[in-house]
Amino acid sequence: MDWLTKFPQMDGALLRELNKSIDGAFRGFTRAWGDTIEAFFEPLRLFLVHSEQFMTRTPWIVIFLLIVAISWFCTRNWRITLGGAVILLLIGYFGMWEDTMKTISMIFVCTVISLVVGIPLGIAMARWNRMQAIVNPILDVMQTLPSFVYLIPVVMLLGIGKVPGLIAVVIYAMPPIIRLTNLGIRLVDRDMLEAADAFGSSSWQKLKNVQLPLALPTIMAGINQTIMMALAMVVIASMIGVQGLGQPVLRAISNQYFSLGMFNGFAIVGIAIIFDRVSQAFGKRLQKHSEVVHG
Protein backbone atom coordinates (compact mmCIF):
# COMPACT_ATOMS: atom_id res chain seq x y z
CA MET A 1 0.00 0.00 0.00
CA ASP A 2 2.99 2.23 -0.53
CA TRP A 3 1.29 4.14 -3.40
CA LEU A 4 -1.36 5.46 -1.02
CA THR A 5 1.03 7.46 1.09
CA LYS A 6 3.58 8.31 -1.52
CA PHE A 7 2.72 9.54 -5.06
CA PRO A 8 3.63 6.79 -7.53
CA GLN A 9 6.17 8.78 -9.47
CA MET A 10 8.39 8.08 -12.40
CA ASP A 11 11.55 6.17 -11.75
CA GLY A 12 14.40 8.61 -10.88
CA ALA A 13 16.82 7.17 -13.38
CA LEU A 14 14.24 7.29 -16.15
CA LEU A 15 13.46 10.94 -15.42
CA ARG A 16 17.15 11.79 -15.45
CA GLU A 17 17.49 10.01 -18.76
CA LEU A 18 14.52 11.91 -20.18
CA ASN A 19 15.89 15.29 -19.11
CA LYS A 20 19.27 14.41 -20.50
CA SER A 21 17.95 13.41 -23.88
CA ILE A 22 15.74 16.51 -24.21
CA ASP A 23 18.65 18.72 -23.21
CA GLY A 24 20.91 16.90 -25.61
CA ALA A 25 18.49 17.24 -28.46
CA PHE A 26 18.01 20.94 -27.81
CA ARG A 27 21.76 21.49 -27.53
CA GLY A 28 22.15 19.72 -30.86
CA PHE A 29 19.49 21.93 -32.37
CA THR A 30 21.23 25.01 -30.98
CA ARG A 31 24.55 24.00 -32.47
CA ALA A 32 23.06 23.20 -35.84
CA TRP A 33 20.71 26.14 -36.16
CA GLY A 34 22.03 28.80 -33.77
CA ASP A 35 23.85 30.75 -36.48
CA THR A 36 20.91 30.65 -38.86
CA ILE A 37 18.55 31.89 -36.18
CA GLU A 38 20.97 34.60 -35.19
CA ALA A 39 21.20 35.72 -38.81
CA PHE A 40 17.42 35.75 -38.96
CA PHE A 41 17.25 38.17 -36.05
CA GLU A 42 20.08 40.35 -37.37
CA PRO A 43 17.71 43.06 -38.75
CA LEU A 44 16.14 43.31 -35.31
CA ARG A 45 19.55 43.76 -33.73
CA LEU A 46 20.36 46.55 -36.17
CA PHE A 47 17.02 48.22 -35.42
CA LEU A 48 17.83 48.07 -31.70
CA VAL A 49 21.36 49.37 -32.15
CA HIS A 50 20.33 52.29 -34.34
CA SER A 51 17.47 53.26 -32.11
CA GLU A 52 19.73 53.18 -29.06
CA GLN A 53 22.44 55.17 -30.81
CA PHE A 54 19.88 57.78 -31.78
CA MET A 55 18.64 58.11 -28.21
CA THR A 56 22.08 58.21 -26.55
CA ARG A 57 24.16 60.15 -29.10
CA THR A 58 21.69 62.95 -29.81
CA PRO A 59 22.29 65.87 -27.42
CA TRP A 60 20.05 65.49 -24.39
CA ILE A 61 18.33 68.82 -24.97
CA VAL A 62 17.14 67.70 -28.41
CA ILE A 63 15.70 64.44 -27.06
CA PHE A 64 14.13 66.30 -24.15
CA LEU A 65 12.44 68.81 -26.46
CA LEU A 66 11.37 66.00 -28.78
CA ILE A 67 9.65 64.06 -26.00
CA VAL A 68 7.97 67.22 -24.67
CA ALA A 69 6.81 68.10 -28.20
CA ILE A 70 5.44 64.59 -28.83
CA SER A 71 3.54 64.59 -25.55
CA TRP A 72 2.10 68.01 -26.34
CA PHE A 73 0.94 66.98 -29.81
CA CYS A 74 -0.52 63.72 -28.52
CA THR A 75 -2.34 65.18 -25.54
CA ARG A 76 -2.82 68.95 -26.07
CA ASN A 77 -2.79 69.03 -22.31
CA TRP A 78 -0.22 71.29 -20.63
CA ARG A 79 -0.44 69.51 -17.28
CA ILE A 80 0.56 66.13 -18.68
CA THR A 81 3.27 67.76 -20.82
CA LEU A 82 4.67 69.77 -17.92
CA GLY A 83 4.58 66.76 -15.59
CA GLY A 84 6.50 64.70 -18.14
CA ALA A 85 9.09 67.45 -18.55
CA VAL A 86 9.67 67.68 -14.79
CA ILE A 87 10.07 63.88 -14.52
CA LEU A 88 12.64 63.88 -17.35
CA LEU A 89 14.60 66.77 -15.79
CA LEU A 90 14.71 65.01 -12.42
CA ILE A 91 15.89 61.78 -14.06
CA GLY A 92 18.67 63.68 -15.79
CA TYR A 93 19.64 65.58 -12.66
CA PHE A 94 19.97 62.32 -10.71
CA GLY A 95 22.41 61.03 -13.31
CA MET A 96 20.21 58.42 -14.94
CA TRP A 97 19.77 60.10 -18.33
CA GLU A 98 21.79 57.63 -20.41
CA ASP A 99 20.26 54.51 -18.82
CA THR A 100 16.80 56.01 -19.25
CA MET A 101 17.46 56.66 -22.93
CA LYS A 102 18.55 53.04 -23.41
CA THR A 103 15.40 51.82 -21.69
CA ILE A 104 13.13 54.10 -23.72
CA SER A 105 14.82 52.90 -26.90
CA MET A 106 14.26 49.28 -25.87
CA ILE A 107 10.61 49.92 -24.98
CA PHE A 108 10.08 51.73 -28.28
CA VAL A 109 11.48 48.86 -30.36
CA CYS A 110 9.64 46.21 -28.34
CA THR A 111 6.35 48.09 -28.66
CA VAL A 112 6.75 48.57 -32.40
CA ILE A 113 7.47 44.87 -32.90
CA SER A 114 4.61 43.82 -30.62
CA LEU A 115 2.21 45.99 -32.61
CA VAL A 116 3.51 44.93 -36.02
CA VAL A 117 3.08 41.27 -35.12
CA GLY A 118 0.20 41.57 -32.65
CA ILE A 119 -2.36 43.68 -34.50
CA PRO A 120 -2.48 41.52 -37.66
CA LEU A 121 -2.63 38.45 -35.44
CA GLY A 122 -5.53 39.94 -33.50
CA ILE A 123 -7.33 40.75 -36.75
CA ALA A 124 -6.81 37.18 -37.97
CA MET A 125 -8.18 35.85 -34.68
CA ALA A 126 -11.28 38.00 -35.00
CA ARG A 127 -11.86 36.78 -38.53
CA TRP A 128 -11.35 33.05 -38.06
CA ASN A 129 -12.67 31.24 -35.00
CA ARG A 130 -10.23 28.42 -35.70
CA MET A 131 -7.37 30.90 -35.42
CA GLN A 132 -8.73 32.14 -32.11
CA ALA A 133 -8.97 28.58 -30.82
CA ILE A 134 -5.29 28.01 -31.67
CA VAL A 135 -3.83 31.32 -30.53
CA ASN A 136 -5.72 31.77 -27.26
CA PRO A 137 -4.05 28.88 -25.39
CA ILE A 138 -0.65 30.03 -26.68
CA LEU A 139 -1.34 33.49 -25.25
CA ASP A 140 -2.35 31.90 -21.95
CA VAL A 141 1.01 30.12 -21.82
CA MET A 142 2.89 33.29 -22.77
CA GLN A 143 1.22 35.22 -19.99
CA THR A 144 1.51 32.64 -17.21
CA LEU A 145 4.80 30.87 -17.91
CA PRO A 146 7.39 32.50 -15.61
CA SER A 147 9.65 34.64 -17.79
CA PHE A 148 12.77 32.91 -16.45
CA VAL A 149 11.61 29.66 -18.01
CA TYR A 150 11.51 30.93 -21.55
CA LEU A 151 14.67 32.94 -20.96
CA ILE A 152 16.61 29.63 -20.79
CA PRO A 153 16.05 28.42 -24.37
CA VAL A 154 16.28 31.99 -25.72
CA VAL A 155 19.69 32.45 -24.08
CA MET A 156 20.85 29.02 -25.24
CA LEU A 157 19.94 29.89 -28.80
CA LEU A 158 21.04 33.50 -29.00
CA GLY A 159 23.33 34.00 -26.03
CA ILE A 160 23.35 37.09 -23.84
CA GLY A 161 22.52 40.46 -25.34
CA LYS A 162 20.00 42.80 -26.85
CA VAL A 163 18.11 40.42 -29.15
CA PRO A 164 17.30 37.72 -26.58
CA GLY A 165 16.22 40.52 -24.24
CA LEU A 166 13.98 41.89 -26.93
CA ILE A 167 12.42 38.48 -27.56
CA ALA A 168 11.78 37.98 -23.86
CA VAL A 169 10.13 41.39 -23.56
CA VAL A 170 8.03 40.90 -26.69
CA ILE A 171 6.77 37.50 -25.54
CA TYR A 172 5.65 39.13 -22.32
CA ALA A 173 4.26 42.35 -23.78
CA MET A 174 2.48 41.13 -26.91
CA PRO A 175 -0.54 39.22 -25.51
CA PRO A 176 -2.58 42.30 -24.51
CA ILE A 177 -2.45 43.89 -27.95
CA ILE A 178 -3.40 40.60 -29.63
CA ARG A 179 -6.27 39.93 -27.24
CA LEU A 180 -7.65 43.46 -27.28
CA THR A 181 -7.45 43.81 -31.06
CA ASN A 182 -9.40 40.57 -31.36
CA LEU A 183 -11.91 41.66 -28.73
CA GLY A 184 -12.34 45.15 -30.18
CA ILE A 185 -13.14 43.82 -33.64
CA ARG A 186 -15.51 41.19 -32.30
CA LEU A 187 -17.40 43.84 -30.33
CA VAL A 188 -18.15 45.95 -33.41
CA ASP A 189 -21.89 46.41 -33.78
CA ARG A 190 -23.40 43.91 -36.24
CA ASP A 191 -25.64 46.63 -37.67
CA MET A 192 -22.56 48.51 -38.79
CA LEU A 193 -21.17 45.44 -40.54
CA GLU A 194 -24.49 44.81 -42.20
CA ALA A 195 -24.54 48.39 -43.49
CA ALA A 196 -21.02 47.94 -44.86
CA ASP A 197 -22.16 44.75 -46.63
CA ALA A 198 -25.29 46.41 -47.97
CA PHE A 199 -23.17 49.06 -49.67
CA GLY A 200 -21.06 46.34 -51.27
CA SER A 201 -17.86 46.54 -49.19
CA SER A 202 -15.11 44.05 -49.85
CA SER A 203 -13.70 42.45 -46.70
CA TRP A 204 -10.68 44.78 -46.85
CA GLN A 205 -12.98 47.82 -47.09
CA LYS A 206 -15.00 46.49 -44.17
CA LEU A 207 -11.86 46.12 -42.08
CA LYS A 208 -10.46 49.51 -43.00
CA ASN A 209 -13.67 51.56 -42.84
CA VAL A 210 -15.65 49.89 -40.10
CA GLN A 211 -13.92 47.27 -37.97
CA LEU A 212 -10.60 48.99 -37.23
CA PRO A 213 -11.99 52.49 -36.64
CA LEU A 214 -14.73 51.20 -34.35
CA ALA A 215 -12.34 48.88 -32.51
CA LEU A 216 -9.80 51.68 -32.08
CA PRO A 217 -10.59 52.56 -28.44
CA THR A 218 -10.07 48.92 -27.44
CA ILE A 219 -6.93 48.64 -29.57
CA MET A 220 -5.56 51.80 -27.96
CA ALA A 221 -6.12 50.23 -24.53
CA GLY A 222 -4.14 47.24 -25.80
CA ILE A 223 -1.27 49.44 -26.95
CA ASN A 224 -1.19 51.13 -23.57
CA GLN A 225 -1.09 47.75 -21.80
CA THR A 226 1.65 46.51 -24.10
CA ILE A 227 3.85 49.51 -23.30
CA MET A 228 3.27 49.03 -19.57
CA MET A 229 4.09 45.31 -19.73
CA ALA A 230 7.26 46.02 -21.71
CA LEU A 231 8.38 48.46 -19.02
CA ALA A 232 7.66 45.90 -16.34
CA MET A 233 10.04 43.46 -18.03
CA VAL A 234 12.98 45.89 -18.02
CA VAL A 235 14.57 44.53 -14.84
CA ILE A 236 14.20 40.88 -15.81
CA ALA A 237 15.53 41.56 -19.29
CA SER A 238 18.58 43.21 -17.77
CA MET A 239 19.53 39.79 -16.36
CA ILE A 240 20.34 38.68 -19.89
CA GLY A 241 22.33 41.71 -20.82
CA VAL A 242 19.82 44.37 -21.77
CA GLN A 243 21.28 47.73 -20.84
CA GLY A 244 19.31 50.50 -19.26
CA LEU A 245 17.60 51.22 -15.96
CA GLY A 246 17.27 47.52 -15.14
CA GLN A 247 21.00 46.94 -14.70
CA PRO A 248 21.55 49.36 -11.79
CA VAL A 249 18.51 47.81 -10.12
CA LEU A 250 20.02 44.36 -10.57
CA ARG A 251 23.33 45.58 -9.12
CA ALA A 252 21.46 47.16 -6.23
CA ILE A 253 19.74 43.84 -5.45
CA SER A 254 22.95 41.83 -5.35
CA ASN A 255 24.90 44.46 -3.40
CA GLN A 256 22.10 45.85 -1.24
CA TYR A 257 22.49 49.41 -2.54
CA PHE A 258 19.20 50.73 -1.25
CA SER A 259 19.24 54.23 -2.72
CA LEU A 260 20.59 53.14 -6.13
CA GLY A 261 17.73 50.67 -6.42
CA MET A 262 15.16 53.22 -5.33
CA PHE A 263 16.29 55.96 -7.70
CA ASN A 264 16.39 53.70 -10.73
CA GLY A 265 13.12 52.07 -9.74
CA PHE A 266 11.44 55.46 -9.52
CA ALA A 267 12.90 56.41 -12.89
CA ILE A 268 11.13 53.37 -14.38
CA VAL A 269 7.92 54.42 -12.66
CA GLY A 270 8.42 57.96 -13.96
CA ILE A 271 8.70 57.00 -17.61
CA ALA A 272 5.85 54.53 -17.15
CA ILE A 273 3.66 57.42 -16.00
CA ILE A 274 4.69 59.55 -18.99
CA PHE A 275 4.00 56.75 -21.49
CA ASP A 276 0.71 55.85 -19.84
CA ARG A 277 -0.74 59.35 -19.62
CA VAL A 278 0.41 60.35 -23.08
CA SER A 279 -0.87 57.22 -24.81
CA GLN A 280 -4.19 57.36 -22.97
CA ALA A 281 -4.75 61.03 -23.69
CA PHE A 282 -3.87 60.38 -27.32
CA GLY A 283 -6.41 57.55 -27.50
CA LYS A 284 -9.04 59.79 -26.00
CA ARG A 285 -8.31 62.55 -28.44
CA LEU A 286 -8.81 60.13 -31.33
CA GLN A 287 -12.31 59.47 -29.96
CA LYS A 288 -13.21 63.15 -29.74
CA HIS A 289 -16.18 62.64 -32.07
CA SER A 290 -17.93 60.42 -29.53
CA GLU A 291 -17.82 62.98 -26.72
CA VAL A 292 -20.30 65.56 -27.93
CA VAL A 293 -23.63 63.86 -27.58
CA HIS A 294 -26.83 65.40 -28.82
CA GLY A 295 -29.09 66.10 -25.83
Partner 1 sequence: MAEPIGIEIRSLYKIFGPEAAVLMPKVRDGMTKAELNERHGHVLGLNNINLTMPAGRIQVIMGLSGSGKSTLIRHVNRLIDPTAGEVLAGGADVVKMPPEALREFRRHKTAMVFQKFALLPNRTVLENTAYGLEIQGIDRGRRTDTAMRWIERVGLKGFEKKYPNQLSGGMQQRVGLARALSNDAPILLMDEAYSALDPLIRVDMQTVLLDLQKEIRKTVVFITHDLDEALRLGDAIAILRDGEIIQQGSSQDIVLRPADAYIESFVREVNRGRVIRADAAMEPVSGEAPEVSVTGDASLEDVARLMADRRVTRVTVIDPASGGPVGMLAMESVMAAMTNRGGY
Give the interface with partner 1 as residue ranges (CB under 8 A): 189, 191-192, 194-195, 197-202, 205, 209-210, 213-214, 216, 287, 289-294
The least distance separating partner 1 from the CB of residue 79, rounded to whole angstroms, comes to 26
In contact, 186 and 132? CB cutoff 8 Å: no
Q: Identify which of residues 4 and 293 has a Cβ nearer to partner 1 in the complex.
A: 293
Q: Identify which of residues 10 and 198 has a Cβ nearer to partner 1 in the complex.
A: 198
Q: Which residues of 43-70 are buried (b: 16+ CB within 10 A; e: fewer)?
A: ebeebbeebbeebbeeeeeebbeebeee
| Chain-centre distance for alpha carbon 144 | 15
276 C-beta neighbours (distance < 10 Å), count: 16
The least distance separating partner 1 from the CB of residue 201, rounded to whole angstroms, comes to 5
The least distance separating partner 1 from the CB of residue 127, rounded to whole angstroms, comes to 16
Q: Identify which of residues 53 and 205 has a Cβ nearer to partner 1 in the complex.
A: 205
The least distance separating partner 1 from the CB of residue 190, rounded to whole angstroms, comes to 10
Q: Identify which of residues 11 and 191 has a Cβ nearer to partner 1 in the complex.
A: 191
Q: Identify which of residues 2 and 191 has a Cβ nearer to partner 1 in the complex.
A: 191
The least distance separating partner 1 from the CB of residue 187, rounded to whole angstroms, comes to 14
Q: Identify which of residues 43 and 200 has a Cβ nearer to partner 1 in the complex.
A: 200
Q: Identify which of residues 103 and 211 has a Cβ nearer to partner 1 in the complex.
A: 211
List the one residue out of 117, 92, 109, 91 whose CA is nearest residue 242: 109
Contacts of 60 (CB under 8 A, 6+ apart): 92, 97
The least distance separating partner 1 from the CB of residue 202, rounded to whole angstroms, comes to 7
The least distance separating partner 1 from the CB of residue 186, rounded to whole angstroms, comes to 18
